Amino acid sequence: MKLLVGIRIKAMFAAMKKSFGGKKGMGALIAVAMIFLFFSVEAMLFGQWSLMSAFLDTDFAWLFFALAGLLAFAFGIFGTVFTTQAQMYQAKDNELLLAMPLKPGSIVGSRVFVLYLLTMLFVAVVMLPAGVVYTIKAGFSVSFWLVYLVSMLLIGLITQAVTCLLGWLLHFILAGFRHKAIVATVFMTAVMVLYFVGIGQIENLMMLLVNNGGKIASAIQSFAWPF
């Protein structure tokens, strides 16, 4: 299992490198770009969660954490659905792996585990700054962070389960098209455009939430309680 996980991680990085032309040193460039993007998003979200921390002094303190969970859920799906579709339902090494003395469950398990790690990266990007903002406002608590980290792991599990389903649906839809690569590219581009439009409006959305917290809390309380 450990060997399969290592192979799967290397394969994912190799695919990323290939998509950028496979040039020498591209792996390091991708890593630097990902680190820069991570801290840029963290800085942006820290500012937004600081704005949302006004809820922590009201009866709607739960809304602060529910929104963190919901946003992490959405961000995790967005960040991994295409990778899940490719790794789970469009893998090209299934015959090779099945020809080895490996259990099918181990093969699938290694794929899901690596995808779960990737999902957790996206979940952490959203939930860590929210946790830090709460700690700054309420003070450090070991019990809080233990529960919060467990919550992050559970959010990652829910996200990965839904992503596997959506990845299957995406693969099912693409199977009906002759030029799958073109359709997938167009679909991915559309999702990216929607994502960046949403990022551009996130401050306005946060202000809307702050100004209408009571109404929004009442509207989402019925389905947001798991988050």
For residue 73, give both structure tokens.
């859920």
Q: How many domains does the chain have?
A: 1
Token pair of 109 as six digits = 């398990």
pTM of the model: 0.75
Domain enclosing residue 96, as ranges: 2-17+26-224
Q: How far apart are CA 37 and CA 3, in angstroms?
A: 30
| Tens-level pLDDT at each residue, the chain (227 residues) | 666 766 666 666 666 555 555 555 555 555 666 665 665 566 566 766 777 777 787 777 788 888 889 888 988 888 888 888 888 887 777 777 777 777 888 888 888 888 999 899 889 988 888 898 889 888 899 999 999 999 999 999 999 999 999 888 888 877 766 666 666 667 667 766 776 666 566 666 666 666 666 667 777 777 777 88
